[in-house]
Structure 1
Amino acid sequence: MSSSNQPTTIIISLMSKFRGCMLGGLIADCLGSPFEGEMFVTTDSVQKFLHKQLEEQSEKSAGFQILSYTDDTAMTKSIAQSLIEMRKFDPKDIAKRFALEYNKEPKRGYGANVVDVFAALMLANYESPYEPAKRQFGGFGSYGNGAAMRVGPCAMYGYNMELNKLLELTRDSARITHSNVYGYNGAILQCLAIHQALHVHSIIRTLFDINVYLNNLIEKMMKIELDSQPAYSMMNNNTTTTANINNNNNSNNGNSNNHTNIIINNHNQEKKIYTPFSDKLKKVKEILNNEIKGNKYPIDKIVACLGNDVSAFKSVPTAIYAALKGQFILFDSFDHPSPIVRTLYHSISFGGDTDTIGSMACSISGAINGIESVPKILLKHCECCDVMEKYADDLFRLVRSNNSPPSSSTLSSSTN
């Protein structure tokens, strides 16, 4: 933490933030994937792994690892390519790029359900890009985190957009594969977290900064979720689907319902208001406030509360928590000066869907702290770095040409 109260001014260019977002997501995808699916990851194993990757060594050294990216990065690339080349959101073009990218390299860890969507899209020649996803899971669609994991380019492309336009872009990009309200609202939350990080003008290093950031997210998500009541009600009236979304949290912490169900009496008729993501953000805020004040939460309790699986509901808030916790050097942090490395450490330590949670978390962290926070040695361990950096730069130039955004953000902090 700070050793002096003298303020200093840190200038992080917007291009640096774009690069940090894109490359932060890439390194966490690559470095998180070896732990994917492990429900119990020891902190010792994560520390040893990261220390090894952070060792300064030649790429020609024996045993030097270059780690592959997964479907997270593959689909992020497709969205970035489409937005850059089409200079607009084109769902048919994105759907086609998804399918072609999969056919070119199918062994990137794609789930079977999204592969079925690709096949149906190709069969229909991409004429109805939203229809195949809508038909999945008995018409309820996927509530997974596959739309959230690839949303970074939307946040960058929409840097200057009005909020309603950004929400429309994000929702529609998600619905190509995830038509369930939990799937696309999870993508919206992740997009807002990145978008807000790109715009941040005060470095997130204090409890006050944490609360400002989270309060803004909560306020936005509450409005979005209040507008989503018909979709939430339909989901929650389907007991099988709702049980699948909530079962892990229920069994872990004994809470029979992790959503806020506000009962409104209207002429003796009860109406429930569902705000699941907003409620998770409030839990993130509560935990971080307590941790920054010195209280310790075991990892298993964090996972029980926030989740670590492939559903958007139990991974996007977890990623936001990891990104914000990584801004601090706490008692259980990885001993490294880079907030993005600390974020990566926390993300992997949760176990479960480590590559996707890590990718989402480090995209946020990179958007906050810029490319300077990404150790160059980690980039050497990842394939596709040059391509992802180019896409970040192309998106920056596209945004700047559209509306001349400010070239930098001024961040006030205490001297480290």
Structure 2
Amino acid sequence: MDQFKGCLLGALIGECVGTPLKRPTSCHMNLAGVRSKISTYWEKMLLTHAYGRSLLDTGYFSMENAARECSNAFYQNYTKRTAFGKLTEIIASWKHSPPKDWTAAAQSVRNRGTECNPAAWITAFPLYFYNRTEQMSYSVDRVARLTHSSNDAAAGAQLQAYAISLVLKNKKMKELEFLAALVEYTSKSLPDSVRQEFYTRMMMVLDYAQRAEPKEKLFKAIGVGTSPLDAVPVAIYCAAIGRRSGCPFEATFHAAMSTGGCTDAIGTMACAIAGAWSGFSGIPDEMVGMWDGQEQIYALAKELYTYVSTLHGPDGPLSTIENWPHLLPSAGAMARTGLYYIGSKDTVKCHYCRFTMSNWTPGDPYSDHQRFNENCIFVTNCTATPAYVRAS
């Protein structure tokens, strides 16, 4: 619970401070003139909360339900949270006219000039899909494409989600180990069209961290703009070098806020990673208790933690798959298809629709699940065998 709460609170702090500080060139944090706005959250945490609610309410990722949650949230808060007017306007309009073609809807956001970064609002996904990396990546890709049509936006969101998931599972991970794991992930798991660009930047991040170069050099070398190719690697770098301080969260916060440029997205992402890494207990007391929407974030963290604890605990459905008697289909493929082993012969039950299946032979468990119960909410949410199942 400590890490879940810290992750979401970190993201909230990063956006609340980063939004009024956002500016094109300065590399020195100056809070003068922004104190009256500094406790207000904007579109990133609004979307984070909406996506988290959608995941918990449906039990899986549904693009339609996520869009509905987002449009309701934006519509209700339209006059208050207009930091990104075009995005707010477009998503609020979905309340009355839901898109029939999500690809076209995403392109319309891009065409109307919004440069917002979806990697800054996927924080709930690594929490919800705790220890289910492939399913998390698949869902994050889809949610990024709800508002963005470019591969770099989706890839940046996947990289950010994976960064959070790494430290959630290993709080004691060292910063260089963390960066090396992300370099490997980038080289193997991101879309071919943008893999090399992200890999090059993440190698720069690792190199600068190893040589302990002044952070300003990296900010200048990579850039601190709104592009996911800039903002995501820089946010990851800030979280990594923050670990070298006696107070890692505070050091990450100051590094992110000193970048100049896109401090709202960089701050949200860096502080989400740092919050997951240090936990709520690692956030200084003076940085707690002053933020707009804080109680909502705490409630969401508690619900997500309760869900994950139920799913992955000693008696949870995903804990039983380790006793799965077959090599093929693999235990991982079964679990990632929503199925868990009930402990008798080779009978499994779907965590979503409660349908049971047995007498397995080597093959694709997702297709079998679809064939025997096409009305399952997990199956009907996906139109083809997901990559995270095929890869198993």
TM-score (norm 2): 0.73
Deviations 1:104-149 (A, max 9, x none): 11242443442454256345434444430035556xx989553100
Against the structure 1 CA distance between its residues 110 and 87, is the aligned structure 2 distance closer, same or farther, given a 3 Å change threshold?
farther
Against the structure 1 CA distance between its residues 298 and 150, is the aligned structure 2 distance closer, same or farther, given a 3 Å change threshold?
closer
Match of 2:157 in 1: 187
Structure 1 window deviating more from structure 2 (31-40 vs 149-158): it is 31-40
Match of 2:7 in 1: 21
Contact 1:18–1:370 (8 Å) recurs in 2:
yes
Match of 2:259 in 1: 350
Overall identity of the aligned pairs, in %: 24
Match of 1:283 in 2: 204
Match of 1:364 in 2: 273
Q: CA deviation at 1:173?
A: 1.2
Deviations 1:319-358 (A, max 9, x none): 00000111113xxxxxxx4211111100011111112111
Query: After TM superposition, what 4+ stretches of structure 1 lie above 6 angstroms from structure 2?
Result: 63-66
Q: CA deviation at 1:406?
A: 11
Match of 1:173 in 2: 143
Which residue, out of 134, 139, 149, partners 1:164?
134
Deviations 1:142-173 (A, max 9, x none): 89553100111001011031x32221111011
In the alignment, structure 1 residue 151 sits paired with structure 2 residue 60: no
Aligned residues: 315
Which residue, out of 12, 26, 37, partners 1:40?
26
Deviations 1:263-304 (A, max 9, x none): xxxxxxxxxxx511111111110011111xxxx4262x2222
List alignment gaps of at least 5 residues for structure 1. 1-14, 54-62, 233-273, 330-336, 408-416
TM-score (norm 1): 0.69
The whole-number CA distance in structure 2 between the counterparts of 1:406 and 1:25 is 31
Which residue, out of 97, 108, 111, partners 2:69?
97
Contact 2:250–2:283 (8 Å) recurs in 1:
yes
List alignment gaps of at least 5 residues for structure 2. 317-392
Counterparts of 1:15-414 in structure 2, within 5 Å, are: 15-42=1-28, 45=30, 67-106=39-78, 107-115=80-88, 117-118=90-91, 121-122=94-95, 124-135=97-108, 137=110, 144-161=115-132, 163-201=133-171, 203-204=172-173, 209-225=174-190, 228-229=191-192, 231-232=193-194, 275-291=196-212, 296-297=213-214, 299=216, 301-329=217-245, 337-404=246-313
Higher normalized strand content (fraction of residues): 1
Contact 1:145–1:183 (8 Å) recurs in 2:
no
Q: CA deviation at 1:397?
A: 0.6
**Aligned-residue CA RMSD in angstroms?**
2.8
Q: Secondary structure at the match of 1:85?
A: helix
Q: CA deviation at 1:42?
A: 2.3
Structure 1 window deviating more from structure 2 (359-368 vs 303-312): it is 303-312
Q: CA deviation at 1:176?
A: 0.5
The whole-number CA distance in structure 2 between the counterparts of 1:217 and 1:297 is 21
